[in-house]
Structure 1
């Protein structure tokens, strides 16, 4: 007897509301993987470190694993209003628990618009694997020193949360601004008991993940101190064991050469424009 497959809970009357112009993003994917772009900036994030950088609207940003498997924890903010930031939970509901080409990275309320759209992913064919794992995780979030202390009793400062805190400080942001992440190149899933699990990253030196900026962005990424997650755990002992699995991550930002032609039908993303009052009434003087 076939297993019933439930329908997605968040359908849209018009699929473009969730996915935009698919033909445009397919073209951008070809540009990301080939010619038609010029490098604006390119750098590596050292192991167990983090860095923040700007991606302007209409640019492409490629994250890569130049030396082999390595997990990256990604934060995204609206550059001009960092109160608007990536919303992992809603992205999970609108698109998928593990994102790839065609999926969009949505912002929090009261904004709710795509900050970026994924246009290229060399690991898009990965999963579900033999244990149900998929790549580019939205089920979990960043490792942090607080849960490390809770689980192991140890203080260990090299965590993705801490890396992101240090990365955004030069941009006037604080620990309170760091938010739930997209775990790029990370394989995860839920076991039969509903428990979250992590598997080793399948990334190779040639692998990459590219998104298109739908508005001006501030991005920050941590090269996870857990490395490729082939070994993981909590506390100082685990941290030392994971050290040999850590590798730098690559970041490149590109301008589109024929930008006016390629993006002639594109517009910067906008909020749905809800104009309600959340059921509140404006008080009348004298009543």
Structure 2
């Protein structure tokens, strides 16, 4: 089968042209860094945390296979949040090292860059499954009611809602996710499928924070997804559930001497408007730090 070129292709030197040597220099294998915080996202629950720009954070398998549904916002302006669908177009549907997670319009900038992935060699399995997907979104009690006719409160959407409430966010701020450690693909009928999580204790996905971040993750109540959640064979996957770990690292200042936090998209924001006296860039920045 011939390889069809991607629709979104970058010109040389654009923000999509990642400096791999720089990000390689930030990994644990290539530099000393200071562990400044550790957190645990409890089994079948959600957890939120903050990360300063220029720091590294790691989502880690602490006990056994477990899927995590991940959200991310600008710490100073939650209107700027991770945009899963545009990231899927600019990067790929299953992300790994050197891929960036992009923010929503009108901001459109890299929020975080993946710098290390212990599952990077998983590749594509015999059924077309890959890990760390942006194809699907979080499980939620609304679709559960549609599929089963029953109310069940503990889904990833609900976990994320509870996790971000202490930061002043609400259900309206929870958005499409990055499914960390989740193995997914599209079947021959072009339908989304999920497989058992291939991660094991000690595996991790690691990010460099390009801006100040608020992050949240749900330890999926489906655990490692080895058990059907809906349909005739559905059962409670409690025995497959585990917590997840979060680690935050401070880097040596000299490593970041030539790095700066990315600016908003330089588009002037007129959208065809003719009024020359309105500063659209300033309007876009309102509500930010």
Provide the TM-score with structure 1 as the length reference.
Answer: 0.93
| Residues 52-108 of structure 1: per-residue CA shift (max 9 Å, x gap) | 000000000000111111000000000000000000000000000000000000000
Q: Quick check: 1:43–1:250 contact (8 Å CA) kept in 2?
A: yes
Q: Quick check: 2:39–2:246 contact (8 Å CA) kept in 1?
A: yes
Unaligned 5+ residue runs, structure 2? 278-289
CA distance in 1, matches of 2:182, 2:249: 24
CA distance in 1, matches of 2:185, 2:273: 41
Alignment partner for residue 242 of structure 1, among 214, 226, 237?
A: 237
Residue equivalent to 1:213: 209
Alignment partner for residue 11 of structure 1, among 9, 12, 15?
A: 9
How many equivalent pairs are there? 276
Residue equivalent to 2:125: 129
Matches within 5 A, 1:62-73: 62-73=58-69
CA distance in 1, matches of 2:190, 2:25: 38
CA drift of 1:35 comes to: 5.0
Secondary structure in structure 1 of the residue aligned to 2:236: helix
Secondary structure in structure 2 of the residue aligned to 1:241: coil
CA distance in 2, matches of 1:254, 1:48: 26
Secondary structure in structure 2 of the residue aligned to 1:151: helix
Residue equivalent to 2:282: none
Unaligned 5+ residue runs, structure 1? none
CA drift of 1:125 comes to: 0.9
Q: Quick check: 1:104–1:116 contact (8 Å CA) kept in 2?
A: yes
Following TM superposition, the consecutive aligned residue runs of length 4 or more in structure 1 with deviations greater than 6 angstroms are none
Residue equivalent to 2:194: 198
CA distance in 2, matches of 1:276, 1:169: 32
User: 1:227 and 1:19, CA in 2 relative to 1: closer, same or farther beyond 3 A?
Assistant: farther
Alignment partner for residue 28 of structure 1, among 22, 26, 29?
A: 26
Moved more, 165-174 or 14-23: 14-23
| Residues 152-182 of structure 1: per-residue CA shift (max 9 Å, x gap) | 0110001000000000000000000000000
- Residue 230 in 1 paired to residue 226 in 2? yes
- Residue 157 in 1 paired to residue 164 in 2? no
Secondary structure in structure 1 of the residue aligned to 2:144: helix
| Residues 112-168 of structure 1: per-residue CA shift (max 9 Å, x gap) | 000000000000011210000000010000000000000101100010000000000
Matches within 5 A, 1:1-287: 3-14=1-12, 16-29=14-27, 31=28, 33=29, 36-234=32-230, 238=234, 241-256=236-251, 258-259=252-253, 261-282=254-275
CA distance in 2, matches of 1:270, 1:35: 27
Secondary structure in structure 2 of the residue aligned to 1:197: strand
Provide the TM-score with structure 2 as the length reference.
Answer: 0.92
| Residues 200-220 of structure 1: per-residue CA shift (max 9 Å, x gap) | 000010201100000000000
CA distance in 2, matches of 1:283, 1:56: 37
CA distance in 2, matches of 1:278, 1:77: 25
Secondary structure in structure 2 of the residue aligned to 1:28: coil
